[in-house]
Amino acid sequence: MGFSSSDLKSDRLSLARTISAVENNTPAGKKALDETFADSGKAYLVGVTGAPGTGKSTLVSRLALWLRKEQGLTVAIVAIDPTSPFTGGAILGDRVRMRDLAGDEGVFIRSMATRGELGGLALTTAGVVQILDAAGYQMILIETVGAGQSEVEIARLAHTTLVVESPGMGDDIQAIKAGIMEIADILVLNKADNPGVENTERALRANLELGYPNGHNRKAGHSEYLIEKSENRDRWIPPVIKTVATRGTGIGELCEVIFTHKDNLAASGRMQMREKERLATEFDHQLKLSLFENWKNNRTPQDIAKVLEDVYERRCSPSKAVERLLAC
């Protein structure tokens, strides 16, 4: 079975099947990744992360609508683990009706379950995104619930990462608590219709000022963003954009800032750098995976059980145990 990118473009069913094959890491999935690689690398990837219930799905749906209707771009949405107990995990925001997006050939929506398999979620997501990219989707929006290392890895996949925050959870900024502020290219303060928005905004800006003490205001169209002048090059400072995703307020401005960030990445040469880093990371993951699988295939479970027993009995440290196994 061949997996040409043109098949993926014309046939949504074959696209869905190929994505499943990639998710399940089947031989067909691997083949599809090899065969479509040359056609990928064209899409612009936007990561959307943040604490549960901050309105990520609603925001993603609005962004998709805006990019589709105002910019005429084709859009794919990848929602990772949309089964948050917080909201029951709808892929699309509840106010954005399915009919607004579904049935539109230019939009493809896919959810993925988190899995603990080796190689990890970031690698699987990279694969799925590559397939969508090769199928010709111009913008790919990736939603993850901010909960740790895997979000950071997925954010590295994206060109622009939005960290979504919302007011009304006390004075705590959830993104700071979750340790995901650092990965933000743009901070979205959603639910700006809720009380406490000024406090949250102030706290976010204060936190930013700590990280970027020499920021300078810049204007891009109607929106403001900041650049820190450093010796070698300008440093992008994450702007804070207020939105009410349920009503679609602030979405135009947010899209404008995403494109400003995109231009900034391209002009500064960081776009190419990010791409290279991303591919190098993927290469690294694949190398580790292959080496591990090859190695493990040449050992019997008994070999491994035997050294593990020594570890359990504390006769041998885990690293010594590995050394021993590698030597035999």
Query: Cβ of residue 109: shortest distance to ligand GTP, in angstroms?
Result: 13
Name, in order, each residue with C-beta under 8 angstroms of 254's C-beta and a sequence gap of 6 or more.
Answer: 63, 162, 186, 188, 241, 243
Tell me if 264 contacts ligand GTP by CB under 6 A: no
How many residues are there in the chain?
A: 328
Task: Name which of 237 and 244 has its Cβ closer to ligand GTP.
Answer: 244
Name, in order, each residue with C-beta under 8 angstroms of 172's C-beta and a sequence gap of 6 or more.
Answer: none
Which of these ranges, 48-56, 192-200, 260-268, 298-306, lies near Mg ion under the rule CB under 5 A?
A: 48-56
Tell me if 54 contacts ligand GTP by CB under 6 A: yes
How far is Cα 182 from Cα 166, in angstroms, rounded to an integer?
A: 17
Applying CB under 6 A, the site for ligand GTP has a residue count of 24
Instruction: Select the residue interacting with ligand GTP from 16, 73, 90, 311 (CB under 6 A).
Output: 90
CA distances in angstroms from 231 to 37, 234, 235, 269, listed in the order given: 37, 8, 10, 16
Task: Name which of 160 and 190 has its Cβ closer to ligand GTP.
Answer: 190
Cβ atoms of 272 and 219 closer than 8 Å: no
How far is Cα 184 from Cα 238, in angstroms, rounded to an integer?
A: 6
Query: Cβ of residue 123: shortest distance to ligand GTP, in angstroms?
Result: 22
How far is Cα 210 from Cα 213, in angstroms, rounded to an integer?
A: 6
Tell me if 95 contacts ligand GTP by CB under 6 A: yes
Tell me if 244 contacts ligand GTP by CB under 6 A: yes
φ, ψ for residue 20, nearest 5 deg: -60, -40
Query: Cβ of residue 56: shortest distance to Mg ion, in angstroms?
Result: 5
Instruction: Select the residue interacting with Mg ion from 5, 49, 57, 174 (CB under 5 A).
Output: 57
Which of these ranges, 19-27, 92-100, 278-286, 294-302, lies near ligand GTP under the rule CB under 6 A?
A: 92-100
Task: Name which of 56 and 62 has its Cβ closer to Mg ion.
Answer: 56
How far is Cα 205 from Cα 239, in angstroms, rounded to an integer?
A: 9
Binding site for Mg ion (CB under 5 A): 56-57
Binding site for ligand GTP (CB under 6 A): 52-58, 82, 84, 86-87, 89-90, 93-95, 145, 190-191, 193-194, 244-246
